[in-house]
Structure 1
Amino acid sequence: MPRIPYVPADIAEPREIVDAIRARRGGTLLDLDRMLLNSPALAAGWNTYLGAVRTQLTLSPKLRELAICGVAILNRAEYEFKQHSPHFLKGGGTPAQLEALREFERASSSTLFDASERAVIRLTIEMTRNVEVRDETFAAAAKVIASEQAMVELVATIATYNMVSRFLVALDIHART
């Protein structure tokens, strides 16, 4: 059980916020949403911001989901990993790559991943473990990412999903089996 109770799954108010979250989620509320709705203002901002990160950036969906899944594994946020695994596969990741992500730090040298993917893995590790990123790690990622815009988006995605995973872990929100 989470450390703070979820709001009811059939919550209807505040209607504008609940409806916006349901619209982004295809009609349902995830446990994450039900926790966030303990603070409607937080839930509204989160929904808008995470919606943009997930659907409005130029960053490749595969690299975005690779970074998100990596953050989830590094921070032991199984809920996040389970939510994003299907998106990684849909973005072009393979089942073998997905399995390799379970040992994320070893994945940075795996031949299952190409040079751009390995650079994203290394950047994700450094941002998540150390916060500070070595110049050579940043340069390697910037070399393989399509543009400065996409690089900013990658860094923001890694930072954002570190926030998400820390929220999930601190509140003890787990993936249901």
Structure 2
Amino acid sequence: MNRIPPLPYDQWDTEALASLAPGRKLPPSNVLGLFAQHPELAKAFLGYNRHLLGGGSTLSPRTRELAILRVAWRRRCQYEWVQHVLIARKAGVTDEEIDAIRVGKPTPITRAVDELEADSGLSDDTYRALAAELDDRQLMDLVFTVGTYGLLAMVLNTFEVELDPGLPAENFTTDE
């Protein structure tokens, strides 16, 4: 049960609509309904997050989604996991790669997420492996993406934001 219930879409005022969907129509969701409870915070956070989700990020959508999925899995954040499995598939991530995220199959991205989550930094080996594939801006976008989606997982888990109606649980279990 949501600890802070999402504000129903029909109750979003002009300020909430401007903060959550400036200039566009978004389908209502529980996470946006949560943000609608605090329009000033929503405007600041979502403006920044738009950069990470493609409005300026130098990461490929595929790399971004692999990182976000690993964060969601490590943080045991079902809402983030379910939303980003759908986005990852659209970005070309295969079901086999999604399964590999669950078990932490070693790749430079999974190692980076695991180290950033555990140590708030990267080992020299992991940094070198990433730097062989990513330029400086991409490295920065990766670290900011991991940190931001760790924060968002914390928010979603703390306020127990429920899955949106009709979304599959995507075999999300926390016993692995």
Q: TM-score range by the shorter chain?
A: 0.7 to 0.9
User: Which residue in the other structure is 2:130 paired with?
Assistant: 141
What aligned pairs does 1:62-77 form with structure 2 within 5 A after superposition?
A: 62-77=62-77
- Alignment gaps of 5+ in structure 2: 169-176
User: Which residue in the other structure is 1:2 paired with?
Assistant: 2
CA shift for structure 1 position 16: 4.2
- Return closer, same or farther for 1:26/1:89 CA change in 2, 3 Å cut-off: farther
* Corresponding letter in the other structure for 1:151: L
1:163 aligns with 2:163: no
* Corresponding letter in the other structure for 1:166: M
Contact conserved, 1:22 with 1:28, CA < 8 A, in 2? no
What aligned pairs does 1:1-177 form with structure 2 within 5 A after superposition?
A: 1-13=1-13, 15-22=14-21, 26-55=25-54, 56-103=56-103, 105=104, 107-108=105-106, 118-145=107-134, 147-176=135-164, 177=168
Determine helix, strand or coil for the equivalent of 1:166: helix
- Return closer, same or farther for 1:127/1:68 CA change in 2, 3 Å cut-off: same
Contact conserved, 2:20 with 2:39, CA < 8 A, in 1? no
Deviating beyond 3 angstroms after TM superposition, the runs of 4 or more aligned structure 1 residues are 22-26
Alignment coverage as a number of residue pairs:
164
Identity %: 27
Within 2, Cα distance between the matches of 1:163 and 1:25?
25
* Corresponding letter in the other structure for 2:149: Y
- Return closer, same or farther for 1:47/1:173 CA change in 2, 3 Å cut-off: same
Within 1, Cα distance between the matches of 2:152 and 2:124?
26
Q: TM-score, normalised by structure 2?
A: 0.85
Within 1, Cα distance between the matches of 2:147 and 2:23?
21
* Corresponding letter in the other structure for 2:53: R
Within 1, Cα distance between the matches of 2:33 and 2:99?
29
- Return closer, same or farther for 1:19/1:70 CA change in 2, 3 Å cut-off: same
Contact conserved, 1:77 with 1:169, CA < 8 A, in 2? yes
Structure showing the higher helix proportion among its residues? 1
- Return closer, same or farther for 1:30/1:81 CA change in 2, 3 Å cut-off: same
More displaced stretch, 71-80 vs 92-101: 92-101
